[in-house]
Structure 1
């Protein structure tokens, strides 16, 4: 079973690339982020024609997350996180599919920092941690997949100096991510590349892709029941180099059974 997280950076603009990826790789479950589309404009017909059922949580022009399943319809469990009734951002969607609980996550960027956007990011991480703790207590097989907008370690970026003032790499952001892992989650990509050097994002600016000046912010966190089934993890990097591609590449895990 192949489970993918993919920030598409606008599903309408990247739909040809997404459909291409689904046809070529045929992943079993795909978590999408940054749809930048309202619920009404999500391309359900095209996704279904590609062989995938879908649940989505859209927002016009911003954010937006979805869960796709090959040959099946995901069953929605929860959209949004508790803890802030005024938070209208579409950033969290949790579904049941193929015997798993799968969440698609688009954690806030937090720039510029310091400031209210960074404060919102840190509060959001805390709210995610509360939900993650509750999921572990259910003892279900869970995958928390998405764009976390956190560079966890110095070797997860092409340049520590270039990213030093960015919200993605601040101590508080990293501490929140580490606290999440400490609950008992496995960072799947890290287990396969313990020395780092694996990127999932390359900016459109300054020739970042051509220079391989990227960093890792897309993560798949596995509950113990899923971590025991892990057979592989990686990044389908070549898709970042295609015409009119997202600035993220799909990251994935493979599971036994």
Structure 2
């Protein structure tokens, strides 16, 4: 049985948080957690670099904004980091057996280059009234990553914000949570256990908001949130309130321009919810995922920008733009106990380890056994930037590392024959409930497929495909002149 710690944190921009801590690895290590869920990363896929999305000892899964509507480029975004010892053939619960971007299922059936529709079939019941374009709009803002950890499914959510007079965004937010609830209900009906973490942009109770007015209880999103909870007939526990039912001024977010943190003038909108049965073989009354497996849940106040004892606001040190350093949110964590190991599995295809613009190309088994010609032959075949592989000449992967995702499509069979594997997990073609192997090839349906830069050159009439037998043939060198 294992202990686990899950942290959720609206970072208000992943770049500035990495800069604040010195590196992504230091930021992640500061939580000492097994799973770390970030919201509002504000990264686009085109901005991916290894130092922003990859850290030693962690696997990462990102969802980014795909729309430029109303200037939302680099807007929103979520990321889930999983601390693991092994990325292949692992039984660690922290390493998901599968992962999915979005929650409507529409991203599996669409390629997004100008939102070109290819084919769509509803993932769950109840979505027939929504058009494919509406569902694509819901998942197009990069607000959800789902990771399946075998014993539970984890939703990393960044809920949309909507002001009172913006009817369009209010409708968007309504659709967002309505469809999300349908996905949760579908999983619970299958007997799955669920944790939902993230910035939902909703304070469910008056105790969770410093300025709750007389109309607070009438807000339809707050009413929707409360309807999810066990005391209101729903299936979910508000894990923080289960552990701290009467704690006041337990806020996780503060306005950025008023010094609100110094006076703790905030709201609790960052949540951890849990639903489903416990993992015990014999479940009795009062048993549940939260009651049996949650040990602690609390707010990590040490990550607040202002803490008791800090320099008064008018004397505090600020960043160059005049703002306090750090996010306007505080992280929330939950500690789990008695979680069994998972079955042996490998990293899902959505991991950034397979993102081509992070690591370029990866060698396959073919290239490990392929016979290499001498340096002289390589130079004759095209200079130092090429390697010769049994009659085929391919460009070195080192020349591809600076490509954008637009210039790398899924690995074609011809490309694999050359001993090079270029992978992209942007569309995440995994079946949600099925483990996937990290050694697969994946299509980049998130962008228009384009031909890969790597080129080959066939000699005479030789076939480009090598047989397994040819790898083990002895090379005969004629030394007679």
Fold agreement, TM-score > 0.5:
yes
Shift of 1:196: 3.9
Q: Contact between 1:26 and 1:70, CA under 8 Å: does it hold in 2?
A: no
Secondary structure of the equivalent of 1:49? coil
Secondary structure of the equivalent of 1:37? coil
Shift of 1:67: 1.2
CA deviations over 1:75-133 (Å, ceiling 9, x no partner): 44332232433412111110123743111001111124451111211121111110111
The structure-2 alpha-carbon separation of the partners of 1:196 and 1:151, relative to structure 1 and needing over 3 Å to count, comes to farther
Secondary structure of the equivalent of 2:329? coil
How much is the aligned-residue C-alpha RMSD, in angstroms? 2.3
Q: Contact between 1:230 and 1:255, CA under 8 Å: does it hold in 2?
A: yes
Partner of 1:85: 135
Partner of 1:22: 28
Structure 1 residues 110-129: aligned runs within 5 Å: 110-113=162-165, 115-129=167-181
Determine which of 332, 338, 357 is the counterpart of 1:251.
332
Partner of 2:272: 220
Identify the range of structure 1 (94-103 vs 207-216) with the bigger mean alpha-carbon deviation. Answer: 94-103
Determine which of 304, 324, 329 is the counterpart of 1:240.
304
Distance 1:40 1:195 in 2: 45
Identify the range of structure 1 (16-25 vs 146-155) with the bigger mean alpha-carbon deviation. Answer: 16-25
Secondary structure of the equivalent of 2:174? helix
CA deviations over 1:6-42 (Å, ceiling 9, x no partner): 1111111212446444223311111111111012424
Determine which of 148, 165, 185 is the counterpart of 1:96.
148
Distance 2:57 2:208 in 1: 34
Asked if residue 49 in structure 1 is aligned to residue 130 in structure 2, the reply is no
Partner of 1:61: 74
Distance 2:78 2:202 in 1: 18
- What are the ranges of 5 or more consecutive residues in structure 2 without an aligned counterpart? 66-72, 88-94, 105-126, 128-133, 279-288, 307-323, 339-481
Shift of 1:44: 4.3
Q: Contact between 1:4 and 1:251, CA under 8 Å: does it hold in 2?
A: yes
Asked if residue 176 in structure 1 is aligned to residue 224 in structure 2, the reply is yes
Distance 1:40 1:146 in 2: 24
Q: Contact between 2:252 and 2:268, CA under 8 Å: does it hold in 1?
A: yes
Distance 1:95 1:106 in 2: 15
Q: Contact between 2:17 and 2:27, CA under 8 Å: does it hold in 1?
A: no
The structure-2 alpha-carbon separation of the partners of 1:170 and 1:113, relative to structure 1 and needing over 3 Å to count, comes to farther
Greater helix proportion: 1
The structure-2 alpha-carbon separation of the partners of 1:136 and 1:191, relative to structure 1 and needing over 3 Å to count, comes to same
Distance 1:165 1:11 in 2: 35
Distance 1:95 1:42 in 2: 20
Distance 2:329 2:96 in 1: 24
Q: Contact between 1:53 and 1:74, CA under 8 Å: does it hold in 2?
A: no
- What are the ranges of 5 or more consecutive residues in structure 1 without an aligned counterpart? none
Q: Contact between 2:7 and 2:31, CA under 8 Å: does it hold in 1?
A: no
Greater strand proportion: 1
Partner of 1:206: 258
Count of residue pairs the alignment pairs up: 253
CA deviations over 1:141-171 (Å, ceiling 9, x no partner): 321111111010001012214xx789xx762
Determine which of 210, 221, 227 is the counterpart of 1:158.
210
Partner of 2:14: 11
Secondary structure of the equivalent of 1:134? helix
Partner of 1:191: 242
TM-score by length of 1: 0.89
Q: Contact between 1:67 and 1:74, CA under 8 Å: does it hold in 2?
A: no
Q: Contact between 1:57 and 1:66, CA under 8 Å: does it hold in 2?
A: yes
Q: Contact between 1:105 and 1:146, CA under 8 Å: does it hold in 2?
A: yes
